[in-house]
Amino acid sequence: MRVLLYHHEDRDTRKLAARLAKIEGHTRAVIDMIKGDRDCAEVLHQIRSVIGAWQHLSALILDEHLKSCIREAVESGKADEAIDSLREALLRRVT
């Protein structure tokens, strides 16, 4: 069973959307660099920056999830479900 994200502040959602827009712009820059036959080291540096941005975004979402959704699940007696859902999300392998 999945635990839904409950109430998130609009400002938090806007901040996350803004970060995603920046990641999208950096990803486009990588595409342009590759199409423009830029130096491999420069492209790799930009890719590492994009990966770092994704990791930072992931950490922000995890932090918010722990502070709001998990807390709310604990208070409503659904802690086990919430923990199982979070554990599944964190341990899911990317292929």
For 10-91, which CATH class? mainly alpha
Confidence of residue 27 (pLDDT cuts 50, 70, 90): very high
Q: What is the pLDDT of residues 37-56, one digit of tens each?
A: 999 999 999 999 999 999 99
> What pLDDT, on the 0 to 100 scale, is given for residue 23?
96
> Mean pLDDT, the chain, as a whole number?
88
Rounded to whole angstroms, what are the CA distances from 14 to 20, 24, 54? 10, 15, 16
Work out the percent of the chain whose per-residue pLDDT is above 70: 89
Write out the DSSP string of 16-72: HHHHHHHHHHHHHHHHHHHHTT--HHHHHHHHHHHHHHHHHHHHHHHHHIIIIIIHH
For the chain, the structural domain boundaries read 10-91
The whole-model pTM stands at 0.75
